[in-house]
């Protein structure tokens, strides 16, 4: 079967967050849309990313609070254990409801869903796995990315983040290789759920791109929770540690050999899903890493072909992909002109406790504004930690510029930082100053009040 260009106004390749957002918004404007997705709707975020990760984070948070409850006098087990299979039933039910919601919305919007991979035939035509050709003058690429597995001896024995969501128990001892978002998040939740966790980080700190002081405090919080941090360790190989091959050791580039681990998880980055698209047939340019090159309008170098999400070099965040796709469709079909404002995008790492930021770090601000930068900090123990007499500490930080002390960076590490940051991100986008914060009456006793009380 072959459908001519008049059959569709838009073909969307990829049914993840960005692809779905683009398809729905285009359909709202009256476009006839075909969506190609060979796997589960929702892509990485819904199936092996944000959603199941946050579910596991919540389970870990509950486990931690149960331990604190025993310290505070509640009659609960000293070492509460999670029944992983039981919890996963709830997690997967939640995700199944999201899938069902997508299907209902797609049907209601009249979007044709094709359960197939796609590859380009030319700049206006894609081919499905069964040979069907779909044509449109506009095509949106939103195929996302996948975890990168290092090409080292024994690397195939390690897991990646996708594999983690197939686990049905917390391994007794886990090594996590990496120091970014995924490594930090999985280390915190696994330690809280009963594993003994070692982090192997190639560099000298966690979370490059986040404020150095907050990353240092998070590392100390992790040490206090029992996580072993191994900085300056570049893993060169995995080796058998037992005769039955059930445990592995890490050999680092300097020759050092680790203790045996029941599981090794690589969190060493992600790569774009661009290989199977045969982009060269359409003339679409990619960068050296395989990302589809786009401009500020999310247009590729080929007229009528666009891309959003992790397939591009843009920030690999679900809300960024969604916002980019919606604005793109508003411009293509709704007469709008607004572009995605890539400045001051808030982001949170669901560590234990969470760390979040919006705007410039202190280092970035000083590179731009020099001596006009003013920094304010609040380090404290949150009330629950103080009541339970545990050493976990929070650190909040404001980066301000100029005589008026305009806030250009907000950095939060601590309980509920993820929830607190959203509102303050709006304020930063609106040009709030330090005096504006100080003129706001604090809500007491909360962690959030520290943001408006800094001196």
Whether 444 sits among the annotated catalytic residues: the reply is yes
Q: What is the DSSP letter of 277?
A: G
**Residue of 99, 233, 298, 444 with catalytic role:** 444
The answer, yes or no, to whether residue 3 has pLDDT greater than 80, is: no
Measure the CA–CA gap between 77 and 141, rounded to whole angstroms: 50
Q: How confident is the model at residue 7 (pLDDT cuts 50, 70, 90)?
A: confident
* Domain 353-453: homologous superfamily in CATH: FAD/NAD-linked reductase, C-terminal dimerisation domain (3.30.390.30)
Cβ neighbours of 50 (radius 10 Å) = 18
Q: What is the pLDDT of residue 352?
A: 96
For residue 4, the model assigns a pLDDT of 41
Average pLDDT (267-285) is 97
Mind listing the pLDDT tens digit for each residue in 179-194?
A: 999 999 999 999 999 9
CATH code of the region 155-268: 3.50.50.60
Which pLDDT tens digit goes with each residue over 198-251?
999 999 999 999 999 999 999 999 999 999 999 999 999 999 988 888 899 999
User: What is the maximum span of the chain, computed from C-alpha positions, in angstroms?
Assistant: 71
User: Could you tell me if 259 and 239 are in contact, meaning their C-beta atoms sit under 8 angstroms apart?
Assistant: no
Instruction: Say how far apart CA 421 and CA 356 lie, in whole Å.
Output: 7
Domain 5-46+86-147+271-334 part of CATH 3.50.50.60: yes
Average confidence score pLDDT of the chain: 95
Summarised one tens digit per residue, pLDDT across range 282-333 is 999 999 999 999 999 999 999 999 999 999 999 999 999 999 999 999 999 9
Rg (CA), the chain: 24
Same fold for the domain at 5-46+86-147+271-334 and the one at 155-268? yes
Quote the CA–CA distance of 399 and 418 in Å, as a whole number.
Answer: 18
Pairwise CA distance, residues 447 & 272, whole Å = 38
This prediction has a pTM of 0.95
Task: Write the CB contacts of 201 (distance below 8 Å, at least 6 apart in sequence).
Answer: 178, 179, 183, 229, 230, 231, 232, 233
CA distance to 154, 182, 310, 373, per residue, from 249 (Å): 10, 21, 32, 46
Query: What's the rounded Cα separation, in Å, for the pair 19 and 140?
Result: 7
pLDDT at position 40, please? 97
Annotated domain spans of the chain: 5-46+86-147+271-334, 155-268, 353-453
Q: What is the mean pLDDT of residues 381-395?
A: 95
pLDDT at 5: 38
Which has the closest alpha carbon to 234: 264, 202, 186? 202
pLDDT at 84 over 50: yes
């Amino acid at each position: 079967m072959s459908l001519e260009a008049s059959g569709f106004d838009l073909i969307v390749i990829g049914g993840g967050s960005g692809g779905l957002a683009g398809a729905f918004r285009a359909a709202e404007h009256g476009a006839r849309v075909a969506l190609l997705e060979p796997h589960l709707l929702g892509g990485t975020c819904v199936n092996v990313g944000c959603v199941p990760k946050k579910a596991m984070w919540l389970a870990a948070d509950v486990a931690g609070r149960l331990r604190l409850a025993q310290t505070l006098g509640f009659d609960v087990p000293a070492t509460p254990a999670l029944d992983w299979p039981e919890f996963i039933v709830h997690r997967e039910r939640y995700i199944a409801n999201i899938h069902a919601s997508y299907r209902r919305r797609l049907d209601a919007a009249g979007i044709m869903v094709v359960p197939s991979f796609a590859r380009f035939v030319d700049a206006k035509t894609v081919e499905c796995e069964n040979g069907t050709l779909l044509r449109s003058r506009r095509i949106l690429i939103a195929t996302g990315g996948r975890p990168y597995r290092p090409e080292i001896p024994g690397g195939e024995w390690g897991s990646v983040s996708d594999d983690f969501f197939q686990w049905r128990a917390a391994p007794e001892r886990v090594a996590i290789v990496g120091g970014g978002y995924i490594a930090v998040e999985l280390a915190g939740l696994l330690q809280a759920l009963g594993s003994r966790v070692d982090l192997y980080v190639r560099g000298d700190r966690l979370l490059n791109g986040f404020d150095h002081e907050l990353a240092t405090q998070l590392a100390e919080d992790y040490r206090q929770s029992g996580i072993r941090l191994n900085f300056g360790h570049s893993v060169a190989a995995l080796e058998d540690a037992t005769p039955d091959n059930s445990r592995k050791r890490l050999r680092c580039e300097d020759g050092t050999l680790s203790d045996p681990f029941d599981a090794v998880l690589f969190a060493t980055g992600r790569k774009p899903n661009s290989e199977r698209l045969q982009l060269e047939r359409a003339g679409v340019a990619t960068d050296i890493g395989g990302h589809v090159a786009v401009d500020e309008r999310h247009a590729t170098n080929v007229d009528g072909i666009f891309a959003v999400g992790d397939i591009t070099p843009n920030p690999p965040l679900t809300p960024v992909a969604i916002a980019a796709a919606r604005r793109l469709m508003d411009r293509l079909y709704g007469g709008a002109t607004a572009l995605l404002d890539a400045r001051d995008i808030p982001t949170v790492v669901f560590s234990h406790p969470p760390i979040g930021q919006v705007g410039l770090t202190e280092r970035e601000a000083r590179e731009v504004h020099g001596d006009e930068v003013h920094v304010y900090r609040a380090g404290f123990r949150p009330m629950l930690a103080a009541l339970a007499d545990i050493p976990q500490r929070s650190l909040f930080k404001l980066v301000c510029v100029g005589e008026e002390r305009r806030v250009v960076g907000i950095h939060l590490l601590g309980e509920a930082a993820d929830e607190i940051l959203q509102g303050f991100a709006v304020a930063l986008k609106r040009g709030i100053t330090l005096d504006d914060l100080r003129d706001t009456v604090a809500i007491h006793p909360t962690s959030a009040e520290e943001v408006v009380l800094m001196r």
